[in-house]
C-alpha cells in the first residue's frame, strides 16, 4: 500500500514493513517524515501487526535531514516529533540500515527499539561538517550507546564508522547478511516479538554514561588534543558541550532542550551558512552547464605522465591509487629513478602510519612503469605533462607528443600560469588539449582545476570532470587565463602582501592577520613552505624584488632553513632579521618611506583585493559560478571553510559594503582597487555575487 509518493506499507505475517523510497539519498524531507509517521500510526492501529521494520530503498538509509529545508519554517511532523512517534510506539520498531545512516537518519535509527545493518553500511553524525550539531537528540543518545569518548570523536570529526565497528561499539544490535537486509530485519523483528523483548529506549540507558562520570579530564584532554583542528570553528565546541551535558544530572528532556538551543544558535550563525554553502557548491562544481546533451565520456584505461618531479610523481600516484596503470617519462634514468624512489618513499610512509596495507605498496608501484622514451606513451588514453614551467619547453614536449600519441588520446598540461592555447598550438590537435591543474602535494590536495581552452572538445571536458571524481578530487572547470582561478587570486594577494611589507608592515604581521582570519598559515609562511624558488627565473628577474633577492642569497624558504623566516632543525620558525633588513633596504632603494600599517589595513587590502579579482574572473567567464571560485579557494588554498570562500564572504558583507570599501581603498592605494564592473552592476541591481 502506498502511504504517499515516497513511503509504502506492507504487512508480512505479523511484521509491518515501512519502506521509504525518496531518491537520491532518502533525506528526511517533509514528505518522508509525514509518510513514515502515517505508516507507523497505521501499523500501531493494525491489530494483526506485532512489530515494525523501517527500511529504505535505493542507495542508502536516510542520509539525514533534508539540508535544503534547514532554516525554513518547520513542517509537522518535525523530525523530533516523528522521533517521539517511534520511540513511544507500543510495538517494537527495527531500523534496517544499508548505505549510510547519517545525521538525522542515524538519529531516527536511535529512537527505534532495535537496529540492524548490512556489513557495508556506515553510521555517522556529520552535522559538524555543516557547522551544526545533531539537533535531534544525537548528542544525547549516541553517548548512551557508544560511550562518551567514542561519541565525542564521532560528532566532532563527522566521520562515519563502518557497520562492523558500530556493532562492536553497541550502536547496532545485529549485522545482516549483505543483500538480505529486508529478510534479516523481518526475522529480527519476529524474534523480538517471539521472545517478548522489551521496547528498549536508548534515552533510558545510563550505563555507558556512568563510565565517564567524575572524569572531567575526558573533555579537557579532548579539547586540548584537537585545539588546532577545531581552531576558528564554532560547531565542534558546541558538540562537545552537548555531550558534556549528558553527564549533568538533569531530566533527559532538559538536556534535549539544551541541545536544541545550541543547534538553533549554530543554525543562525554565518559559519553554518558558509559550510552548507560549501557542501552544495562542491556538488554544483561537478556539473558542467552547456555541453551538448549527447556528450559521452572517453575511457581512461592507461595514463602517461611526463616529468617525475614534484608534481609528476604526485599526479602518477593518484592514478595508481585508483588502480589505473601509469607510464612515467623522464629525460634521464637518474631523474626517473629519483622520481620513482620518492613515490615509493611516500607509499612506505603511508603504510608505516597504518593508513595503507604494506602489501599495497608493491601493488601500486607495480602499476607504475618508468621510461626515458616518450614513444612509450603511444597507447595512453590520457597523457599529462608536468615538466618545467617554461613555454618553449612545454611547446617542444607537445610538438613531440603530437607525433607519438595515438589518435583520440587526451593531451593535458599541468601548467600553473602558461597560456594553454599557446601550448596546444604546438600540436595539430588543439581540440584534444586540456589543462589539468593539480595542486601540491598532488597526491594529497583535493582540488583539480580542469582548464578548458577555446578549442577543447566537450567529451574531453566531461571526461576530465568525471576523472576528477574517479581519483578522489574535486574538479572545478575553469577557463584559460593567466593563473586560471586559484593562482590569479593568489597573485592579487601576492601583490598586496608584497606592497604592504614594503610600505611598513612586517611579514609576520601580515601572516598573523591571515592566520587570525582562519587560514591555516600566513602568506609568507606559505611562500617559505612552497619554496621561494618555485618559478624563479634568476636571469629574467635579477634583484627585481624582495623575493628574488632572498633567492639570490640562497634563502629559498623552509628547505634551506631560511626565507622570510629562519627555521631550526625541527623547522620551528622565527621572524628573520636578515629578511627584514632586505625588505627595509629594498624599500629605501625604491624611495618608499616606511610607515605604521594597521592590521585593519592589512586585512582589507588583502581580502578585498582577492574578492575584486574573483569578481573579475567571474565577469570574464574564467569561472562559471561564484561558488566555483569559492570551492577553488576553500579546497586548494586553505580559505577557512567556515567563511565559505571569497565570493560567499563578500556577499555576507553585503556587496554595497564591498563596493564602498573598494572605492575607499582605491582612493588611498590606487587603481589596483578599481572595482570590478561586475560588482558595480550587481550592486546597481541589488544583487549579490551568487546571482552573477
Ligand atoms: N539533504 C538534501 N540533499 C542531499 C542530502 C541531504 N541531507 N544529502 C545529499 N543530498 C543531495 C546532494 O546535494 C546531491 O544532489 P545533486 O545530485 O542534486 O547534486 C545528491 O543528494 C547526491 O549526493 P552526493 O553527490 O553527495 O552523493 P554520494 O553518493 O557521493 O554521497 C552521501 C551520499 C554520503 C549521503 C552524501 O550526500 C552526504 O554526505 N550527504 C550529507 C549527509 C549529512 O550531512 N547529513 C546530515 C544532515 S543535517 C541533519 O541531519 C540535521 C539533524 O541533526 C537535525
Ligand atoms: P619539477 O622541476 O619538480 O619537475 C619537473 C620535471 O620534469 C623534472 O624532473 C624534469 O627532469 C622533468 N622534465 C623536464 N623536461 C622534460 C622532458 N622534456 N621530458 C620529460 N621530463 C622532463 O617541477 P614541478 O614543480 O613538478 O612542476 C611541473 C609543472 O607543474 C610546472 O608546469 C609547474 O608550474 C606545475 N605546477 C607546480 C606546482 C608546484 O607546487 N610545484 C603546483 C601546480 C602546478
Choosing from 304, 306, 311 the residue with most ligand 2 atoms within 8 A of its CB, the one to mutate for a pocket test is: 311
Which residues of the chain form CATH 3.40.50.720? 303-481
Query: Whose CA is closest to atom 25 on ligand 2?
Result: 310
591-621 pLDDT, tens digit per residue, is 999 999 999 999 999 999 999 999 999 999 9
Q: Is 357 exposed, middle or buried (0-12, 13-18, 19+ CB in 10 A)?
A: exposed
For the chain, what's the residue count?
692
Cell matching residue 508:
609576520
Is 80 exceeded by the pLDDT of residue 266?
yes
User: CA 579, CA 576: separation in Å to the nearest integer?
Assistant: 5
Do residues 466 and 297 touch, judged by C-beta distance below 8 A?
A: yes
Cell matching residue 482:
593567466
59-98 pLDDT, tens digit per residue, is 999 999 999 998 889 899 999 999 999 999 999 999 999 9
Segments in 211-357 forming alpha helices (H): 217-230, 235-245, 252-268, 270-285, 310-321, 333-352
Give the contacts of 244 (CB within 8 A, at least 6 positions apart): 219
Ligand 2 close to Cβ of residue 371 (< 6 A) = no
% of residues, the chain, pLDDT over 70: 100
Choosing from 67, 129, 267 the residue with most ligand 1 atoms within 8 A of its CB, the one to mutate for a pocket test is: 67
Do residues 450 and 639 touch, judged by C-beta distance below 8 A?
A: no
The arrangement of secondary structure in 303-481, i.e. its CATH architecture, is: 3-Layer(aba) Sandwich (3.40)
* Of the candidates 341, 632, 312, the residue with the CA atom closest to the CA atom of residue 443: 312
* Of the candidates 294, 295, 330, 324, the residue with the CA atom closest to the CA atom of residue 312: 330
368-396 pLDDT, tens digit per residue, is 999 999 999 999 999 999 999 999 999 99
Give the chain's largest Cα–Cα span: 92
In this prediction, residue 540 carries a pLDDT of 75
Distance 25 CA to ligand 1 centre (A): 6
Mean pLDDT over 124-134 rounds to 98
Choosing from 393, 416, 441 the residue with most ligand 2 atoms within 8 A of its CB, the one to mutate for a pocket test is: 416
User: Would you please indicate which residues are annotated as catalytic (active-site) residues?
Assistant: 107, 127
Ligand 2 close to Cβ of residue 306 (< 6 A) = yes
* Of the candidates 29, 44, 30, the residue with the CA atom closest to the CA atom of residue 18: 44
In this prediction, residue 544 carries a pLDDT of 85
Give the contacts of 475 (CB within 8 A, at least 6 positions apart): 285, 286, 448, 450, 464, 465, 467, 468, 469
- Tell me the CA distances in angstroms from 343 to 317, 346, 559, one per residue in order: 7, 5, 19
Do residues 415 and 435 touch, judged by C-beta distance below 8 A?
A: yes
Three-state SS across 295-328? CCCCCCCCEEEECCCHHHHHHHHHHHHCCCCEEE
User: CA 262, CA 275: separation in Å to the nearest integer?
Assistant: 17
What ligand 1 atom has the least distance to the C-alpha of 79?
A: 54
> Which residue matches cell numbers 560528532?
155
What ligand 1 atom has the least distance to the C-alpha of 283?
A: 19
- Residue 651, SS3? helix
Do residues 136 and 79 touch, judged by C-beta distance below 8 A?
A: yes
Mean pLDDT over 218-226 rounds to 98
Query: Whose CA is closest to atom 12 on ligand 2?
Result: 307
Rounded CA Rg of the chain: 28
In this prediction, residue 610 carries a pLDDT of 98
Half-sphere exposure of 36 (CA within 13 A, CB side): 36
User: CA 141, CA 243: separation in Å to the nearest integer?
Assistant: 9
280-337 pLDDT, tens digit per residue, is 999 999 999 999 999 999 999 999 999 999 999 999 999 999 999 999 999 999 999 9
516-538 pLDDT, tens digit per residue, is 999 999 999 999 999 999 878 77
Ligand 2 close to Cβ of residue 314 (< 6 A) = no
DSSP state of 623: B
User: CA 151, CA 120: separation in Å to the nearest integer?
Assistant: 21
Distance 328 CA to ligand 2 centre (A): 12
User: CA 86, CA 88: separation in Å to the nearest integer?
Assistant: 6
Distance 267 CA to ligand 1 centre (A): 17
Mean pLDDT over 412-416 rounds to 97
What ligand 1 atom has the least distance to the C-alpha of 134?
A: 53
Which residues of the chain form CATH 3.90.226.10? 7-267
Which residues of the chain form CATH 1.10.1040.50? 505-589
Q: Which ligand is nearest to the CA of 337?
A: 2
Count CB-CB contacts under 10 A for residue 655: 24
CATH class of 505-589: mainly alpha
Count CB-CB contacts under 10 A for residue 420: 27
Mean pLDDT over 42-61 rounds to 98
Ligand 2 close to Cβ of residue 373 (< 6 A) = no
Using alpha carbons only, what angle is made at residue 269 by residues 266 and 270, rounded to the nearest 5 degrees? 135
User: CA 378, CA 392: separation in Å to the nearest integer?
Assistant: 22
Fold category of 7-267 in CATH = 2-enoyl-CoA Hydratase; Chain A, domain 1 (3.90.226)
Cell matching residue 99:
548505505
Is 90 exceeded by the pLDDT of residue 55?
yes
Amino acid at each position: 500500500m502506498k502511504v504517499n509518493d515516497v513511503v509504502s506499507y506492507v504487512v508480512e505475517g505479523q511484521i509491518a514493513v515501512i519502506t521509504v523510497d525518496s531518491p537520491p539519498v532518502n533525506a528526511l524531507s517533509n514528505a518522508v517524515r509525514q509518510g513514515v509517521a502515517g505508516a507507523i500510526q497505521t501499523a500501531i492501529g493494525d491489530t494483526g501487526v506485532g512489530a515494525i521494520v523501517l527500511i529504505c530503498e535505493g542507495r542508502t538509509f536516510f542520509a539525514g535531514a533534508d539540508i535544503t529545508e534547514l532554516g525554513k519554517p518547520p513542517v509537522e511532523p518535525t523530525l523530533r516529533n516523528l522521533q517521539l512517534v517511534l520511540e513511544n510506539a507500543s510495538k517494537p520498531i527495527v531500523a534496517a540500515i544499508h548505505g549510510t545512516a547519517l545525521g538525522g537518519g542515524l538519529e531516527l535509527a536511535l529512537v527505534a527499539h532495535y537496529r540492524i545493518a548490512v556489513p557495508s553500511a556506515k553510521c555517522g553524525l556529520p552535522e559538524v561538517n555543516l557547522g551544526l550539531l545533531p539537533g535531534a537528540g544525537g548528542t544525547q543518545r549516541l553517548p548512551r550507546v557508544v560511550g562518551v569518548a567514542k561519541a565525542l570523536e564521532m560528532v566532532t570529526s563527522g566521520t562515519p564508522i563502518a557497520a562492523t565497528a558500530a556493532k562492536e561499539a553497541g550502536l547496532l544490535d545485529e549485522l545482516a547478511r549483505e543483500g538480505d537486509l529486508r529478510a534479516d530485519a523481518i526475522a529480527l523483528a519476529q524474534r523480538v516479538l517471539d521472545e517478548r523483548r522489551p521496547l528498549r529506549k536508548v534515552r533510558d540507558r545510563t550505563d555507558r554514561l556512568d563510565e565517564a562520570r567524575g572524569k572531567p579530564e575526558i573533555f579537557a584532554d579532548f579539547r586540548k588534543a584537537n585545539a588546532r583542528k577545531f581552531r576558528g570553528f564554532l560547531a565542534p565546541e558546541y558538540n562537545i558541550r552537548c555531550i558534556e551535558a549528558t553527564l549533568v544530572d538533569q531530566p533527559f528532556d532538559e538536556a534535549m532542550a539544551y541541545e536544541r538551543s545550541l543547534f538553533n544558535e549554530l543554525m543562525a550563525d554565518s559559519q553554518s551558512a558558509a559550510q552548507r554553502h560549501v557542501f552544495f557548491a562542491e556538488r554544483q562544481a561537478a556539473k558542467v552547464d552547456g555541453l551538448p546533451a549527447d556528450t559521452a565520456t572517453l575511457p581512461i584505461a592507461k595514463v602517461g605522465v611526463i616529468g617525475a618531479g614534484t608534481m609528476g610523481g604526485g599526479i602518477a600516484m593518484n592514478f595508481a591509487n585508483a588502480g589505473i596503470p601509469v607510464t612515467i617519462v623522464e629525460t634521464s634514468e637518474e631523474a626517473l629513478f629519483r622520481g620513482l624512489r620518492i613515490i615509493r618513499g611516500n607509499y612506505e610512509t603511508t603504510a608505516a602510519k597504518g593508513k595503507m596495507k604494506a602489501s599495497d605498496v608493491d601493488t601500486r608501484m607495480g602499476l607504475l612503469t618508468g621510461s626515458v622514451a616518450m614513444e612509450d606513451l603511444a597507447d595512453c588514453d590520457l597523457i599529462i605533462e608536468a615538466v618545467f614551467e617554461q613555454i618553449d619547453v612545454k611547446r617542444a614536449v607537445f610538438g613531440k607528443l603530437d607525433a607519438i600519441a595515438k589518435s583520440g588520446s587526451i593531451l593535458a598540461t599541468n601548467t600553473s600560469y602558461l597560456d594553454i592555447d599557446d601550448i596546444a598550438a604546438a600540436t595539430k590537435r588543439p581540440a584534444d588539449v586540456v589543462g589539468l591543474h593539480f595542486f601540491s602535494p598532488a597526491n594529497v590536495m583535493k582540488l583539480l582545476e580542469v582548464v578548458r581552452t577555446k578549442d577543447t572538445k566537450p567529451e574531453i571536458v566531461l571526461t576530465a570532470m568525471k576523472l576528477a571524481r574517479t581519483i578522489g578530487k574535486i574538479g572545478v572547470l575553469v577557463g584559460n587565463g593567466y593563473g586560471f582561478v586559484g593562482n590569479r587570486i593568489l597573485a592579487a594577494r601576492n601583490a598586496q602582501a608584497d606592497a604592504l611589507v614594503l610600505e611598513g608592515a612586517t611579514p609576520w604581521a601580515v601572516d598573523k592577520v591571515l592566520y587570525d582570519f582562519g587560514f591555516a598559515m600566513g602568506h609568507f609562511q606559505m611562500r617559505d613552505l612552497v619554496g621561494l624558488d618555485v618559478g624563479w627565473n634568476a636571469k629574467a628577474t635579477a634583484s627585481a624584488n624582495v623575493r628574488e633577492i632572498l633567492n639570490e642569497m640562497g634563502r629559498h624558504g623552509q628547505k634551506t632553513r631560511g626565507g622570510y623566516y629562519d627555521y631550526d632543525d625541527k623547522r620551528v620558525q622565527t621572524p628573520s632579521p636578515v629578511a627584514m633588513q632586505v625588505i627595509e633596504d629594498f624599500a629605501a632603494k625604491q624611495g618608499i618611506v616606511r610607515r605604521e600599517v594597521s592590521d585593519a589595513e592589512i586585512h582589507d587590502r588583502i581580502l578585498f583585493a582577492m574578492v575584486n579579482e574573483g569578481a573579475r574572473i567571474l565577469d570574464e567567464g574564467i569561472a562559471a559560478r561564484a561558488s566555483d571560485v569559492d570551492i577553488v579557494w576553500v579546497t586548494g588554498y586553505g580559505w577557512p571553510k567556515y567563511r565559505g570562500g571569497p565570493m560567499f564572504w563578500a556577499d555576507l558583507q553585503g556587496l554595497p559594503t564591498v563596493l564602498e570599501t573598494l572605492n575607499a581603498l582605491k582612493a588611498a592605494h590606487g587603481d589596483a582597487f578599481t572595482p570590478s564592473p561586475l560588482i558595480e552592476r550587481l550592486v546597481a541591481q541589488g544583487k549579490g555575487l551568487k546571482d552573477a
